[in-house]
Amino acid sequence: MIQIDALPAFTDNYLWLLQDAASRCCAVVDPGDAAPVLAWLDAHPDWRLSDILLTHHHFDHVGGVEQLKSITGARVVGPARETIAGCDQGLVEGDAVEVLGLRWQVLEIPGHTLGHIAYFQAEQLWLFCGDTLFAAGCGRLFEGTPQQMFESLQRLAALPEQTQVYCGHEYTLNNLRFAQAVEPHNLVIANRLAEVSQWRAAGRISLPSNLALEWATNPFLRSTEPSVTEKIDERDGARQRTPAEVFARLRAWKDQF
């Protein structure tokens, strides 16, 4: 059985550490900073870092790669469509990679960056999605288009509803405040906001999420809901919009929220 722990980094990043007790090997997802991983390895001297998985090229997700690779010799895999120093194997849509004895499916999910990928483990229902799908939110569009991000989110949302969502940042509280502005009468959002507020006040992280909860509370997955489309009409003028166009207006609103 593999255990997954969050190693906090910077102000709100999470580096996800996967640990296989049987082999005493571990893997890390998106190590923007080597220090938390090295500190964990120093505290667990009988463990070895075997793999580093990358979702996209932003420095807060890859900044620790070269140092970790030089110290541990770990294999580094990441998106083939992005240039990342130290990456040993580039991955594209349809590829699969074996890490800690498990087969991970690679999904291309452009939007936040053009080459962004996710890793999905179909037996355990684990999804590592970087900065594309957040708990109650989604990433900014630094390189891709709203249409690309909309389609990427729809792909992730089509995975089984029990899928555990491991994203790259602790943005949940602010995302839920926006979600409540979009759907002020959504009781599931209100309850989740109250719960996460208590968790954060107590120092507890808000992740992982799951896709069933995201369908119920994440406005960026709810662009066909009447309550969401009506709010966009109220803000931006009533007109016929495709779900992708509703998504684009939501993202523009969130950028200024």
Q: What are the residue numbers of the active site?
A: 56, 58, 60-61, 112, 131, 169
* Strand, coil or helix: 77: strand
Residue-wise burial string across 166-203, b where 16 or more C-beta atoms lie within 10 A, e elsewhere: bbbbbbbbebbebbbebbeebeebbebbeebeeeeeee
Q: Which residues pair with 108 in a beta bridge?
A: 117
Residues 6+ apart with CB under 8 A from 198: none
Structure tokens at 104: 């991970």
Q: Which residues pair with 102 in a beta bridge?
A: 99
Q: Half-sphere exposure of residue 202, counting CA atoms within 13 Å on the CB side?
A: 9
